[in-house]
């Protein structure tokens, strides 16, 4: 497959409420989600789209570095031949020198979309013959007390915690758990905000049967097994995956889930490596977003469709935070069908950037 052209354009999407995780100016909460869309086109007219959406202030790359890498790629890509995803990864590394996760992820996402169109299939089936036909999705709640999304029986609700006094937050979580539909469970993400004592107090009041797992609960992840033994709650690790010096914790007692954010881990190939490693280690792999648009969320569902022996809810419920989106019909609901992948921005957005249909 030879590339006939490549383009890149920035986007800015309004959020329903400012979000601190996006790294606004001066540390303020951001009112927009910003990033870049990459478009690849082959010599047969097939197209593929990728999204580069680093979390400014959290991701290693800066806006200027990403813009420069994309500009260089657009200039060098036409005429290049990529018959394998690995070849594209190698080229991306050479173009950038020290490849940025969001840059590599966008190129790999675009290549897989293009290759899927060439084959008349979906990206997941380009990568594997074993694809789950249904991808459950965890709904998202910024914090206890906010307006709660609708949740179906047996569903999963991810909640950010560690943002209020421990006792009051524990009471709010118990009340929230009591309102869950039958069989529904909570995922509690503390972003390493709690001491062992605080986490033990907060989670001990909750029935482990109502909690799917607690994600990065501790300021010191080395205390994960002690928290598990004290509370009975399964532990999920996310940021810890990025710290090679702590990889011994991934097999610790109580650590049952690895949360995978492909753009932070280094791209699609890197995420697939983690998915395979999780299976070998007997851990669950949960593909999660870094607040990508609906275009990115739809693609991330393709990766979750490859993970685990049985379907596990993906961390892709953040689309409800967007007031506007790139996708014509942003993915929503308690589950996604990988077979209904569309893989392109809306016609309105394509027209806005002057790309035309494709």
Tell me which of 71, 158, 160, 284 is the catalytic residue.
160
3-state secondary structure of 87: helix
Residue 261 annotated to the active site: yes
- Residue 180: which residues within 8 A CB-CB, separation 6 or more? 151, 157, 186, 210
Helix axes 63-76, 101-119, angle to 10 degrees: 40
**Angle at alpha carbon of residue 53, lines to 48 and 58, rounded to 5°:** 155
Residue 284 annotated to the active site: no
Q: Reading across the β-sheet that carries 3-19, which strands appear in turn?
A: 3-19, 30-42, 47-52
**Which of 344, 290, 341, 338 lies closest to 318 in space, CA to CA?**
290
What distance in Å separates the CA atoms of residue 228 and residue 240, rounded to the nearest whole number?
Answer: 17
> What residues pair up with 187 in beta bridges, in sequence order?
158, 213
How remote is the C-alpha of 313 from its chain's centroid?
12
Tokens representing 349?
A: 């957005």
Tell me which of 76, 158, 261, 284 is the catalytic residue.
261
238 near 215, Cβ under 8 Å?
Answer: yes
Q: Tell the burial category of 319 from Cβ atoms under 10 Å away from its Cβ (0-12, 13-18, 19+).
A: buried
Q: Give the residue numbers annotated as catalytic, written as ranges.
A: 160, 261
């Amino acid at each position: 497959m030879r590339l006939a052209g490549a383009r890149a354009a920035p986007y800015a999407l309004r959020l329903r409420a400012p979000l601190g995780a996006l790294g606004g100016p001066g540390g303020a909460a951001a009112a927009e989600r910003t990033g870049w869309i990459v478009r690849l086109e082959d010599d047969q007219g097939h197209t593929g789209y990728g999204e580069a959406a680093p979390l400014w202030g959290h991701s290693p790359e800066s806006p200027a570095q990403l813009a420069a890498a994309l500009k260089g790629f657009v200039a060098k890509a036409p005429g290049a031949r990529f018959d394998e995803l690995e070849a594209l990864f190698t080229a991306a590394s050479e173009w950038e020198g020290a490849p940025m996760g969001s840059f590599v992820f966008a190129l790999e996402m675009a290549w897989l979309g293009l290759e899927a169109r060439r084959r008349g299939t979906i990206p997941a089936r380009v990568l594997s013959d074993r694809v789950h036909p249904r991808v459950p999705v965890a709904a998202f709640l910024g914090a206890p007390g906010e307006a709660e999304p609708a949740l179906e029986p047996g569903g999963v609700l991810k909640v950010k915690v560690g943002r209020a006094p421990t006792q009051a937050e524990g009471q709010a979580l118990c009340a929230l758990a009591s309102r869950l539909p039958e069989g529904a469970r909570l995922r509690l993400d503390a972003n390493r905000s709690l001491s062992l004592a605080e986490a033990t107090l907060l989670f001990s009041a909750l029935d482990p049967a109502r909690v799917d797992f607690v994600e990065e609960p501790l300021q010191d992840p080395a205390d994960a097994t002690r928290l598990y033994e004290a509370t009975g709650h399964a532990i999920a690790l996310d940021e810890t995956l990025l710290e090679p010096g702590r990889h011994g914790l991934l097999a610790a007692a109580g650590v049952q889930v690895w949360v995978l954010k492909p753009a932070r881990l280094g791209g699609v190939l890197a995420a697939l490596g983690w998915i395979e490693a999780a299976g070998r280690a007997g851990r669950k792999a949960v593909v999660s977003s870094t607040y990508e648009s609906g275009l990115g969320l739809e693609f991330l569902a393709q990766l979750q469709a490859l993970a685990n022996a049985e379907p596990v809810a993906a961390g892709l419920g953040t689309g409800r935070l967007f007031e506007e989106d790139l996708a014509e019909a942003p993915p929503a609901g308690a589950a996604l069908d990988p077979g209904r992948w569309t893989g392109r921005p809306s016609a309105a957005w394509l027209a806005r950037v002057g790309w035309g249909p494709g």
